[in-house]
Structure 1
Amino acid sequence: MPLVSQADRLPQRAVDTAEIPEIVISVRDSDRKPLPYYRVAPDVYFLYGNIAEVDRKNRGFNGNAGFVVTDEGVVVIDSLGTPKLGRRLIATVRKVTDKPIKYLILTHNHPDHSYGAVAFRRLPGVRIIGHVGTLEYLDSDNFPASVAFRRRILTLDMKGFKGVKPDILVGGEIYSHTNFTLGGKTFAVYNADHHHSFGDLVVHQVEDRVLWISDLAFNNRSTFMGDGHSGAALEAIDWMRRTFPDTRLMIPGHGSAQTPPFQMVEKTYRYIKRLRDEMRSAVESGQDMESAVRQSDFADWHETPLYHENHKKNANFIYREMEQEVYFGK
């Protein structure tokens, strides 16, 4: 059962559920107030974020995070969307255990997953792990634009924000990994290419067979291509299927966790492939991008949260990819 506030509407569970949370975040909430959380496996705790775009109601709590407690300390996966939420995530860990936080793994650079990292930077002894693409993101035009937007709508929550460079960078060959062990638990951190952002990680709890997939697949909502690559997303999903066939629990960056057969993965794959096929056909037939995007409509997705906010953006993004593939090769 989650930690419940009277203002919140929370699912009774966070695994294999179609229920979505509605968690109201107040700017007046104390930094030491824990966020709602679920125990989804032995020693594994999950924060199930709102299914929504960032706004003043959710105050940036529109993505998931979690943590794993070991005998020697805690591993946190993702930091949520503002410094204030990062501090409240730390308070949530403290609600569960007094063991020290040893690692923070940032699965990718998007603000809903990484802008709370500065709160962890201020803790003694924490090592932050991130994709090497994080450095490119911090040097890109996307970064100041994103920070300015969040500061405009979430001024107090963003107080003290700074971009965080990871202590340990994961890169190299695609699908290679870096391992570390803490308290008898092995964590394998994989370079999953740039399917959704400037660089994406997948985290495998080896002995527990728990897989943190970040935004490689979405649950309880529509896919968002971000600034990755749709072809890389399909390849990464194929890789994930091959590499982790015995996974017991899969935890996405958005939506509830799942046990096999992981329908969210198949649904995400089918959506991306369908949109790629549609946009490729449009490019090959000479249809211009504006009309191709305008006409793209997946009626069977209309009831899926955030479809109407994301689908045209995805179509625009993938049309441009298909132009590159059709005219210049992959």
Structure 2
Amino acid sequence: MYHLVFQACLAAAPAQCGQILLPAADSPDRAECLAGAGARVRDWLAARPDLSGGDPDCRANADLPALPLEEIAPGIWVTWGAEAQMEEVADGHIANLGVVLGRDGVAVIDAGVSRAQGQALHVAIRRITDLPVAHLVLTHMHPDHALGAEVMAEAGARIHAHHALPDALAARAEGYLDALARLYDPGEWIGTRVVMPDALVRDRARIGLGDRDLTLRAWPTAHTDNDLTVMVEDARVFFAGDLLFSGLTPVVDGSLLGWLDWLRGDPAAGAALIVPGHGRADADWTRLSDPQRRLLKALAEAARDAVAQGLPLSRAVPVIVDRLNPLKDGWHAFGETMARNATAAYTELEWE
């Protein structure tokens, strides 16, 4: 497999460049890849006046960077994100991303933080199959999961998401892109754009890959207001997105009470393996979810007590974090994240 690549630079800052891969030009041999390559690059750049581009080339799959994929069940792979916050790593690759192979095509679950990561995921997929990338499922709008989506769209994927995702992503898009430019070298974010889903899920939806089906479920507000989970039906592998965190401190960006309600239910019923948005997979729902449930329950109790004491928000936040400090073992980036969570919890529970 050969991939069409070229160097793209910011028109306003020509020294800031990154490598672009155009997945629609994938070809079994280099000559075929090069045929029409110049026109493809010109068309791509024409829609991006902020970028200028160099000469196209076609490179073998083995010569390009690829994300590592681990097969966790037959035909199901995961690339594991670093258990860190985005600002703690050089490339933003902190989310778990999934790849599901069927008889007729591929479904991707989350696309990563940038075009560069989406491209590296595409190259990795092409090392295991040349079947079409038919579907991309976004589990929610956060940048570490959603900003690589344009690569999958260019590869031919139909993008599926919770019905509330477009508004949530549109409201945050400019801030997300600014954060990438602030945190990372240009090669990590050049060419990254926000794209919206093609298909919205209001309750449940099913997508097929010929010999296997994936069930998508949209949930009420919890981690965010646009959380979506995926069950690979035949293998009973459940992708929870960021409704489940392991190792990395969970972030409340929706409703703390709604999240606790989700955890009290049985959302992964029948699953043989559960993949969280951050951290390693586990076959045991209780073992995987209980640490998060205990932490969020303690957060709610501490916030309620602060409200009952009449503490203003500025005084309540350090009090809440201090009360939760005995639970910090095993949670990365606890202090910084819990301060934000304390603010969100107090604001929500103040009007309970």
TM-score, normalising length: structure 1: 0.83
TM-align CA RMSD: 1.9
CA contact (8 A) 2:307 2:346 kept: yes
1:223-262 to structure 2, matched below 5 A, reads 223-225=250-252, 227-239=253-265, 241=266, 243-262=267-286
Q: Distance in 1 between matches of 2:84 and 2:271?
A: 28
1:98 pairs, out of 126, 130, 133, with 130
- Alpha-carbon distance between aligned partners in 2 of 1:221 and 1:137, rounded to the nearest angstrom: 23
Greater strand proportion: 2
Give SS of 1:312's match. Answer: helix
Which letter maps to 1:271? L
SS, match of residue 104 in structure 1: strand
Which residue is 2:83 aligned to?
51
Q: In the alignment, which of 171, 175, 182 is matched to residue 152 of structure 1?
A: 182
> Deviation string for 1:56-76 (max 9, x for gaps)?
743110111010111111110
The structural deviation recorded for 1:273 is 1.1
Task: Map Cα deviations across residues 159-202 of structure 1 (whole Å, 9 max, x no partner).
Answer: 2222111010112xxxx211122122111100112312241101
Instruction: Structure 2 unaligned segments of length 5 or more: list them.
Output: 1-16, 22-63
Rg (Cα) greater in structure? 2
Deviation (angstroms), 1:305: 1.1
The residue aligned with 2:227 is 200
Residue by residue over 1:232-287, the C-alpha shift from the partner in whole angstroms, topping out at 9 and shown as x without a partner, is 11122233x1x543211000110111111442211111111111011011112212
Q: Which residue of the partner structure matches residue 68 of structure 1?
A: 100
Report the CA distance between 1:30 and its aligned residue: 8.7
Q: Secondary structure at the match of 1:143?
A: helix
1:280 match: secondary structure: helix
Q: Tell me, in whole angstroms, the C-alpha distance in 2 between the residues paired with 1:184 and 1:234.
A: 35
Q: In structure 2, what is the Cα distance between the partners aligned to 1:43 and 1:28?
A: 32
Within the alignment, does 1:132 sit opposite 2:163 as a pair? yes
CA distance in structure 1 between the aligned counterparts of 2:269 and 2:129, rounded to whole angstroms: 32
- Preserved CA contact (<8 Å) 1:136 1:198: no
Contact residue 109 and residue 198 of structure 1 kept, 8 A:
no
Which amino acid is 2:229 matched to? V
Distance 1:146 1:244 in 2: 30
SS state of the match for residue 244, structure 2?
A: coil
* CA separation of 1:36 and 1:139: change in aligned 2, threshold 3 A: closer
Identify which range, 290-299 or 45-54, moves more after superposition. 290-299
Equivalent AA in structure 1 for residue 134 of structure 2 = K
Q: Distance in 2 between matches of 1:50 and 1:267?
A: 19
Q: Which whole-Å CA distance do the structure 2 matches of 1:139 and 1:71 have between them?
A: 35
Q: Which of 280, 297, 310 is the matching residue for 1:286?
A: 310
Q: Could you report, residue by residue, the CA deviation over 1:123-144 in whole angstroms, capped at 9, with x for unpaired residues?
A: 13x111011212212331x321
CA 1:29/1:61 → structure 2, altered by over 3 Å: closer, same or farther?
Answer: farther
State the Cα deviation string for residues 175-232 of structure 1 (Å, max 9, x = none): x21112212211110011231224110111122111100011101221111x211111
For 2:127, the aligned partner's letter is: K
**Number of residues of Structure 1 aligned to a counterpart in Structure 2:** 290
Q: Which moved more, 1:29-38 or 1:92-101?
A: 29-38
Aligned to 2:93, what secondary structure does the other structure show? Answer: coil
Give the alignment of 1:1-330 within 5 angstroms.
32-55=64-87, 57-124=89-156, 126-140=157-171, 142-154=172-184, 155-171=186-202, 176-225=203-252, 227-239=253-265, 241=266, 243-296=267-320, 297=322, 298=324, 299-325=326-352
